[in-house]
Amino acid sequence: MKTAWNDLRAVVGAGHVRAGSELDAVDVFIPQMVVEPANAEEIAHALKIATDAGLRVIPCGGTTKRDWGNPLRHDGQSGELILSTRRSNRVVEHAWGDMTATVEAGCTFQQLQKTLAEHGQRLALDPLWPERATIGGILATNDSGPLRIRFGSLRDLIIGITLALPDGTLAKSGGKVVKNVAGYDLPKLATGSLGTLGMITQAIFRLHPIPRETRTLSFASSEGLTSGRESLHDLVLAIQDCNMVPTGVQMRAASSPTENELHEVDVRFEGTTAGCEAQIEQTLRMASGARRIEAPADVWNARSTLWTGVEPSAICKFSLVPTEIASFLGLIRKVSRSPSLHWRLVAQAVGVGLLRLEGNDNATLLSALEDLRKQVESRGGSLVILRCPLEIKSKMDVWGSASDALPLMKSIKARFDPRGTLNPGRFVGGI
């Protein structure tokens, strides 16, 4: 193993290999080393060295989502290292005439948007913590926000990718090809894979213009999402079914010590002044029975506020049919009847959202999570735990049931990473 560490220093430079510390911990596990390659070639070379030496590799970017996923599986004998993309952070090319951009995995989302804005363009995405989150991490965790209702998910925006595979191969899909992995759509396959198939080193995206104007409407009800003369949930569904093209429709809700929970709906329009005004007028007519409120300045960053509050807590990503959102709130109330449990939620109209559960002890949280997941999965939805106490992680798979897809996922993992080098145990079903 000593030889492997020396080989890694020779590849990336001695100044870019250091011992792991508590600041690098994944859950409570501290890796032995942190290695920071400068480019895709160095990342691929470092991966091959680690694989040949039997080391376990944890890909890392801006560390904003390092605690997502199951606990790392390790045998106590193999060494582990973090392979960081921090130095591989360039916007390689902004082909503004073609409205595409090629960017390295370690570039922060904020830096990419700043570069694109010089030509009036943007990547139509709104991930968590854009000032720190890197392109590689955003793709690996499939992190998208309210803009998804208009521009699609990450899988719709990415058009090319470069992956460093554990055997040292650089596999590309889209653009100039070094090597193709026949039969696989690499951009879609790597998105949301938590770095378990290969390490993302570069991505190519389709872009959209920065809108001339952005307008937001917000409505509130203290009688519940489905109560009152005009249902806020019905309003959300009506907006989706009409000819308007909002770039954000989200619902915010939270538990209350009284029976009157506060529910809020936000609608965003972008484009020309005339276009925004026409859609606002139409929305106000549709929402004639709802109470309009002043939209908070950071309303479209509401998801990030779920990471603060009383501990212990669990933060979950849920996915379900949009028409089931109101029913989902009923399930949350049912599992959180204990006076020690409180919740907050931010849901997108497409049926995807984040939920924070807070309790006085881990046992109460665990019971609520198990009950809620069972109810959601029975309705064809999913509940993924993004953050929770390690005690809860050790007792339930944070990803939930993979159903009959697990054998296929395991076979793909075996094809790309047969020795289990990358993030072992952290993905669905302990992959």
pLDDT tier at 2, thresholds 50, 70, 90: confident
Q: Summarize the confidence of residues 370-392 as an average pLDDT.
A: 96
Higher pLDDT among residues 232 and 427, named by residue: 427
User: What span, in angstroms and rounded, lies between the C-alpha atoms of 138 and 127?
Assistant: 7
Give ranges for CATH 3.30.43.10 in the chain.
2-86+417-430
pLDDT of residue 228: 41
Give the Cα-Cα-Cα angle 230, 320, 353 (nearest 5 degrees): 75
Share of the chain above pLDDT 70, in %: 94
pLDDT of residue 222: 61
Scored b (16 or more CB within 10 A) or e, 25-42 reads ebbeeebbbbbbbbbbeb
Type of residue found at 150: R
pLDDT tier at 336, thresholds 50, 70, 90: confident
Q: Which residues are within 8 A (CB) of 301 and not within 5 positions of it... i.e. 6 or more apart? A: none
What confidence tens digit (pLDDT) does each residue in 114-148 have? 999 999 999 999 999 999 999 999 999 999 999 99
| Domain at 2-86+417-430, CATH from 3.30.590.10, 3.30.43.10, 1.10.10.10, 3.30.60.50 | 3.30.43.10
Give ranges for CATH 3.30.465.10 in the chain.
91-209
pLDDT of residue 214: 97
User: What span, in angstroms and rounded, lies between the C-alpha atoms of 38 and 44?
Assistant: 11
Give ranges for CATH 3.30.70.360 in the chain.
301-392
Strands 33-35 and 80-84: parallel
pLDDT tier at 226, thresholds 50, 70, 90: low
Identify the weakest region by mean pLDDT among 47-61, 179-193, 243-257, 291-305. Answer: 179-193
| Domain at 301-392, CATH from 3.30.70.360, 3.40.630.30, 3.80.10.10, 3.40.50.10490 | 3.30.70.360
What confidence tens digit (pLDDT) does each residue in 396-410 have? 999 999 888 999 999
Q: Regarding the domain delimited by 212-297, which CATH topology (the fold level of the hierarchy) does it fall under?
A: Alpha-Beta Plaits (3.30.70)
Structure tokens at 50: 């680690």
Please, what is the average pLDDT of the chain?
A: 92
Measured torsion, CA atoms of residues 419, 424, 427, 431, in degrees rounded to the nearest 10: 40
Helix H or strand E encompassing 386: strand 382-387
Task: Say what the pTM is.
Answer: 0.94
What confidence tens digit (pLDDT) does each residue in 74-123 have? 776 678 999 999 999 999 999 999 999 999 999 999 999 999 999 999 99
pLDDT tier at 223, thresholds 50, 70, 90: low
pLDDT of residue 221: 82
pLDDT of residue 310: 93
Q: Regarding the domain delimited by 91-209, which CATH topology (the fold level of the hierarchy) does it fall under?
A: 3.30.465
User: What span, in angstroms and rounded, lies between the C-alpha atoms of 316 and 358?
Assistant: 11
pLDDT of 225 strictly over 60: no
pLDDT of 180 strictly over 50: no
pLDDT of 182 strictly over 70: no
| Partners of 163 in beta bridges | 171, 200
What confidence tens digit (pLDDT) does each residue in 290-307 have? 899 999 889 999 999 999
pLDDT tier at 366, thresholds 50, 70, 90: very high
Strands 56-60 and 80-84: parallel
